[in-house]
Structure 1
Amino acid sequence: MDTNQYLEMFIEESKEHLQACNDHLLELEKNPQNLSIVNEVFRSAHTLKGMSATMGYEDIANLTHKMENVLDEIRNSRLDVTPELLDVVFVAVDQLEEMVFNIADGGDGKLDVEETVRKLHLIEKGEMEVAATVMSKVDNTEKHENFLSYDDYEMTVLQQSAEQNYFTYEISVKLREDCLLKAARVYMVFELLEKMGDVIKSSPTVERLEDEDFDEQFYIAIVTTEEQEDVQKKLMKVSEVTEVIVNPVSIEQLKTRQNEEFEKQESKKEEIKIEEKPSSEVKKAEEKQASPKNGQTHGNKTIRVNIERLDILMNLFEELVIDRGRLQSISENLHDSELEETVERMARITGDLQNIILNMRMVPVDTVFNRFPKMVRQLARDLNKKINLQVIGAETELDRTVIDEIGDPLVHLIRNSLDHGIESPEIRKANGKPEEGTVVLRAYHSGNHVFIEIEDDGAGISREKVLKKAIAKNIVTPEAAALLSDKQVAELILSSGFSTAEVISDVSGRGVGLDVVKTTIESLGGSIEISSTEGKGSLFSIQLPLTLSIISVMLVELGEEIYAVPLSSIIETAIIRSSDILNAHNQKVIDFRGKVVPLVFLEEVFEVPRAHKEEEFHSVVLVRKGDKMAGLVVDSFIGQQEIVLKSLGTYLSSVFAISGATILGNGKVALIVDCNALIM
């Protein structure tokens, strides 16, 4: 049977079932006695097993089968739900996800899951303590066992070396726990050993050692003519090496160990053979689900559509919007009543069509939010903190292009809240707070925007600490720092290269800071605001446009050129007298409703050629970014219009204050102003 025609459906449905497993497992951890949740996980796992077996993906089917066995033991009250048990099941789900994504990328869905299968087998047999011990050692034992095993080629090299009177040593090297440059120390150790002889094997592998993907200890096998004590003394001279153990081994010892290891692996494989036959109870359940109640059948009211087809449809509609504008322009010039009536009808129909197409591209933010509960659970365990994540408004919808880009910034902000925001249980208790910290992730619509907020009840942002770092990095001067409000101080953490981390951490971004988050959000036409109260918590608020492809703008004239200013950035438009323009700190400003607003003359920014003349009145577009404002001075207003946003391409991507272009009804090109770049 050719299964390729079902591949896309298999991938999508597998992702849905794995997400259901993740969600229900998190719920099960909170309610370990609720067997109905176990049944839900079992149902998803069983369906995934059946689909993968049919498609020929045996690794997925085998791993899911062992996971299913453990779940069956739980729902039959032969196993209790514990954090250790769930840790192993979560690892299994992660590996299943990895295999499914590998298939989606054109791979074969293969993955070495033998160790996870073994742990699930131990749990199933009631040997929970053994499985937990294996988990807690972070596979250090495995690394050492891998080190102790050699392939045929390596054994031949060792045999020939022994015949030529070379010594074979297995060396264990341990670095200081606070060693900052582990890769450099490893390099120095290898350099010394290579001067003494030939390195045969290392554990972890050389690539992992270079990537610092190990704890403090690593192992090396070497053949050399040097004495054991000399090797040890030389390695101990390497800085930050705290322990070196050199063990001489003979070929006979290695062969004996290899044979024992082989026998152990064979017995293990025999022990964990997977049964392919489903139980009679499962068969009955399948038959029950397959047969419709009372002979009724219901047709599906939804279909799966490849997102690429929607993109093509959107591109065609964008061309239609451009032609709609062109027709409107022609009808206005010809003053033909029948043409005007037809164009108006076409405008109404295309408006309805636009709403339908845009809604088709809208995706619930739940597709991004659903990855965070498991991430928060793991980080809370890594940081030894108690954290409750509350997700509100996951059904809020955003354009798919925005959804694709917003995931990484949200991951960074949530990690930041967990690492820097929420205090340890001891500190929270001492400050009169509950030991469990709360992080709220919420989304909601407001006008033509979606707001996503990350709020925590942690320590908040320390004004003193932030200002100290900002002054040290020359982000602000001491004089300017004294005049900043608490909100402005909090937003300093979004500055490039800013980080208050005393120790580099994998959790909140290794000291990279939040400037990357700000850049990504602004590239989407959005903005980010921070409000914080020291000792009580912080709130990060992200404002995003509903869609990026078709936007509403105000068209303005500048000399003989036309520019488009996004309506999402505009507060209002105004006509001001030249006498109303004031000077403050070498900057032209106006008084707008009691607030000093700087003016930006677009003709100077974009170097528009024009005949300069003194004008009594100026047209100003007042725009906002967060709590900052600016007045864009233009020649005149043309009016509001919906336009298709077109990229300038890679060659023009760095043009200052221009975010794209559009084709107008008269065929001319109008550049779209990036207001965020103009507001300082």
Structure 2
Amino acid sequence: MDMNQYLSMFIDESNDHLQSLNESMMGLEANPEDLSIVQVIFRSAHTLKGMAATMGFEDLASLTHQMENVLDLVRNNKLRMQDFIFDTLFKSIDALESMVEDITGGGEGKADVSAIVSSLQAIVRGEVPAAGGAAAEVTAAAAGNAADAQVYLDEFQYSVLEQSLQEGHQVLYVDVAIRKDCQLKAVRAYMVFDLLERSGEVVKSFPSVQDIEQEKFDYGFSLYYITQKDAGEIQKMILNLSEIDTVTAVALDQESLRQMGQESVAATAEAPAPAPALEAAPAASNASPAASAHGREENKAAPARAGGAPSPSRTIRVDIERLDVLMNLFSELLIDRVRLEQLASEVQNGDLTETVEHMGRVSGDLQNIVMKLRMVPVDTVFNRFPRMVRDLAKSLDKKVDLIVTGADTELDRTVIDEIGDPLVHLLRNAVDHGVESIADRVAAGKPETGTVHLRAFHSGNHVFIEIEEDGRGIYPKKILGSAVKKGAITQEQANAMSDDEAYQLLFAPGFSTAEVISDVSGRGVGLDVVKAKISSLGGNVTIYSTPGKGTNFSVQLPLTLSIIAAMLVRLGSEKYAIPLSSIVETGIVKQSQIRTIHGNKMLEFRGSHIPLVSLSKIFSIPDYDESTEEETEIVVVRKGERLVALAVQDFIGQNEIVIKNLGKYLPEVQGISGATILGDGQVALIIDPNAFIK
């Protein structure tokens, strides 16, 4: 029996079950006594085991079988869920995900999971891990030569380093050994980090920065570092510090970084389960895990957790390319419908007119359905964040609640595919640098548990995604001080900047205000990537912050990249479309109102002067020149706070248009973002207002 034909189905369904396992485990961690959730987890694991065994992926099936054994004891009240059991099951799910990823990439889904299997079997036997067992191993590993220690990267850190390489920065792997006779090795290590921070950004270190500060390391440490300087220069800089024994700095390229990333994934899959110190079992079972973050999704249907058979699936998977073809064919159908309506009005045949009118109503309904087919709930992106925040909060020893609202808000599939990574960067920044440590929160009179809100909602032709936390907030003076210190701006420019302008400095490449280096992120590392990605999708990011109270990152995105509302205008014999989302207002101006300042045409608009751009001159339209007319129609468009007026001949009206790109045969035309086919078959070019404002 040929299993290859079922492989894509197996991969899709496995990913669905793994996502379900993650979500259900998060729910169980918040409510450890709820056995109905255990039933859901057991069912998903059992189904996954059966599918893997059928497809011949034995490693995947055997690991799932060991998970089943633990879950079976829990659902039969023979075992109480505790912190170390949650951690082991989460590690098992991570290992399953890496196996499925390997299968997706054409591999056989094999991995050495003996350590995780041993931990699961120990749980079944009722063995409680000894306090400090794993911690002692970690300390022993750290006590070895730092050159032998590998700094493992997570997905976020790897993406930051990869992006930095693409932007022309140097990515270095630095290994530092401090002299054995050094009395204050933590201070010496701090001096190294401080020196490096002046010329770049430390992304990850081993041991962690917290361990180094507390002298929980031998006489060496390793780190990944982003800079503009070369390896030799960095090596000399560190060696100039006193009491430094040896320094090795190696520049990484894309290939060597990729190999490091693969080793990190393998190490994560093979890592043994941690063994935290446990209180007496009854005490541990009565409290939910304190140090962990748990996801809580409002607007979720509760019956999903109830026992009994799951409801049958009401969805099918369709390749996105097929939807694109459907959209193109439908636009052709609209053109023919308009042509038929014109012919019917000329022929004046009653039966023909009635049939064409009915066809018009049906195709109108069909248009709504086709447009909705490409829309996907943002839930498909949001559902991986509760687990990520939970793990991040545990690693930072913080208490964080992630509250998700509006997960059913819909966005175009092409936007959904691209928005995941920017949101990961923003969430990690919120948890790491927004939410304070437990001690700081208590000192500030706040609850121990920080709250991060992840919201999505519609507003006009846009979808807004907000990430808001009740942390320390952003201090504009601190940003400006750091920018002046780094030479990004002058003191005079800093004095003239508003708070909003200061916040925008956070999006400058490599900018960071962090006083304490973190293994997770520094505000500014990755934020330039966030800004670039969201801008490429036609959106923007706004920051609202109250010092001491918290920060809100608001991401504005277009509802869809394939269908937009537009204003159709005429210039001579040509027609153009301007996206409604960019238009502030339309109007008519007399020639006497237009002024020339330094050779540029300007127009008085609501108390200020804005540029007037002649589209007929920019696009070399031969049969229209607005300067010969007494009055000119204008369209005022906006990008951020900047406005510009576009001169047109006539307004045709508003319309929903299907965007078509200009194809690879046409060069990139300045000021044009695409084209659309109108009802009469004529092509109208779509104007990109951002190009004129730039």
**Is the shorter-chain TM-score for this pair beyond 0.5, marking a shared fold?**
yes
CA distance in 1, matches of 2:588, 2:487: 39
Residue in 2 aligned with 1:489? 502
Q: Are 2:138 and 1:125 aligned?
A: no
CA distance in 2, matches of 1:432, 1:469: 28
CA distance in 2, matches of 1:212, 1:481: 31
Does the CA contact (< 8 Å) of 1:27 and 1:37 recur in 2? Answer: yes
Residue in 2 aligned with 1:542? 555
Does the CA contact (< 8 Å) of 1:174 and 1:242 recur in 2? Answer: no
Q: Deviations over 1:593-648 (max 9, x none)?
A: 45655444434555656775343322221223345443223333233233321223
Q: Secondary structure at the match of 1:302?
A: coil
Does the CA contact (< 8 Å) of 2:204 and 2:518 recur in 1? Answer: no
Q: Are 2:369 and 1:356 aligned?
A: yes
Q: Secondary structure at the match of 1:128?
A: coil
Of all paired residues, the percent bearing the same amino acid is 52
Q: Secondary structure at the match of 1:543?
A: strand
Q: CA deviation at 1:329?
A: 6.4
Structure 1 regions of 5+ residues with no counterpart? 145-170, 188-210, 219-234, 245-267, 269-292
Residue in 2 aligned with 1:200? none
Does the CA contact (< 8 Å) of 1:363 and 1:399 recur in 2? Answer: yes
Q: Deviations over 1:428-484 (max 9, x none)?
A: 222222222111001122333322111111122211122234456676665554444
Residue in 1 aligned with 2:21? 21
Residue identity matched to 1:56: G
Q: Are 2:355 and 1:366 aligned?
A: no
Greater Cα offset, 566-575 or 363-372: 566-575
CA distance in 2, matches of 1:378, 1:299: 31
CA distance in 2, matches of 1:125, 1:444: 49
Does the CA contact (< 8 Å) of 1:493 and 1:513 recur in 2? Answer: no
Does the CA contact (< 8 Å) of 1:619 and 1:636 recur in 2? Answer: yes
Does the CA contact (< 8 Å) of 2:433 and 2:522 recur in 1? Answer: no
Residue in 2 aligned with 1:289? none
CA distance in 1, matches of 2:521, 2:4: 41
Residue identity matched to 1:370: N
Q: Secondary structure at the match of 1:129?
A: coil
Residue in 2 aligned with 1:149? none
Residue in 1 aligned with 2:654? 640
Q: Deviations over 1:562-585 (max 9, x none)?
A: 332112222332112233345779
CA distance in 2, matches of 1:446, 1:531: 18
Residue in 1 aligned with 2:63? 63
Q: Are 2:532 and 1:519 aligned?
A: yes
Q: CA deviation at 1:31?
A: 2.1
**Equivalence map 1:275-294=2 (5 Å):** none
Residue in 1 aligned with 2:593? 580
Does the CA contact (< 8 Å) of 2:429 and 2:523 recur in 1? Answer: no
Q: CA deviation at 1:78?
A: 4.3
Q: Deviations over 1:111-168 (max 9, x none)?
A: 2212211222223323332597337846975998xxxxxxxxxxxxxxxxxxxxxxxx
Q: Are 2:467 and 1:454 aligned?
A: yes
Q: Are 2:286 and 1:314 aligned?
A: no
Q: Secondary structure at the match of 1:512?
A: coil
CA distance in 1, matches of 2:127, 2:310: 46
Q: CA deviation at 1:410?
A: 0.8
Aligned residues: 560
Residue in 1 aligned with 2:12? 12
Change (3 A) 1:73 1:616: same
Q: Deviations over 1:41-78 (max 9, x none)?
A: 22221222222222222111111111122223333444
Change (3 A) 1:462 1:12: same
Residue identity matched to 1:356: I
Q: CA deviation at 1:403?
A: 0.9
Change (3 A) 1:388 1:590: farther
Q: Deviations over 1:469-524 (max 9, x none)?
A: 44566766655544444334323323455433456655337843423222222222
Does the CA contact (< 8 Å) of 1:460 and 1:534 recur in 2? Answer: yes
Q: Deviations over 1:294-347 (max 9, x none)?
A: xxx999573523324xx3243233233145236536866996256887665544
Q: Deviations over 1:8-58 (max 9, x none)?
A: 333233222211211121122222233332232222212222222222221
Residue in 2 aligned with 1:564? 577
Residue in 1 aligned with 2:192? none
Q: Are 2:609 and 1:619 aligned?
A: no
Change (3 A) 1:426 1:632: farther
TM-score of the pair, normalised by structure 2:
0.70
Residue in 2 aligned with 1:674? 688
Q: Are 2:457 and 1:444 aligned?
A: yes
Change (3 A) 1:480 1:113: same
Residue in 2 aligned with 1:392? 405
Q: Secondary structure at the match of 2:587?
A: strand
Change (3 A) 1:611 1:28: closer
Residue identity matched to 1:107: G
Q: CA deviation at 1:405?
A: 0.9
CA distance in 1, matches of 2:447, 2:597: 49
**Equivalence map 1:495-506=2 (5 Å):** 495-502=508-515, 505=518
Structure 2 regions of 5+ residues with no counterpart? 152-169, 178-202, 208-219, 223-238, 249-271, 273-307
Of residues 391, 394, 397 in structure 2, which corresponds to 1:381?
394
Q: CA deviation at 1:370?
A: 0.7
Residue in 2 aligned with 1:85? 85
Q: Secondary structure at the match of 2:471?
A: coil
Residue in 1 aligned with 2:104? 104
Residue in 2 aligned with 1:164? none
CA distance in 1, matches of 2:489, 2:68: 58
Residue in 2 aligned with 1:304? 316
**Equivalence map 1:152-551=2 (5 Å):** 173=147, 183-185=173-175, 215=207, 216=220, 240-241=244-245, 302-308=314-320, 311-325=321-335, 328=338, 336=346, 345-471=358-484, 478-479=491-492, 481-502=494-515, 505=518, 507-508=520-521, 511-551=524-564
Q: CA deviation at 1:83?
A: 2.6
Q: Secondary structure at the match of 2:541?
A: strand
Residue in 2 aligned with 1:288? none
Change (3 A) 1:673 1:482: farther
Change (3 A) 1:534 1:509: closer
CA distance in 2, matches of 1:340, 1:502: 74
Change (3 A) 1:466 1:306: same
Change (3 A) 1:102 1:243: closer
TM-score of the pair, normalised by structure 1:
0.72
CA distance in 1, matches of 2:489, 2:376: 41
Q: Secondary structure at the match of 2:567?
A: strand
Greater Cα offset, 67-76 or 371-380: 67-76
Change (3 A) 1:563 1:379: same
Residue identity matched to 2:591: S
Q: Secondary structure at the match of 1:183?
A: strand
Max radius of gyration: which structure? Answer: 1
Residue identity matched to 1:556: V
Does the CA contact (< 8 Å) of 1:24 and 1:41 recur in 2? Answer: yes
CA distance in 1, matches of 2:664, 2:512: 31
CA RMSD in angstroms, aligned pairs only: 4.1
CA distance in 1, matches of 2:683, 2:486: 42
Q: Secondary structure at the match of 1:451?
A: strand
Residue identity matched to 1:429: V
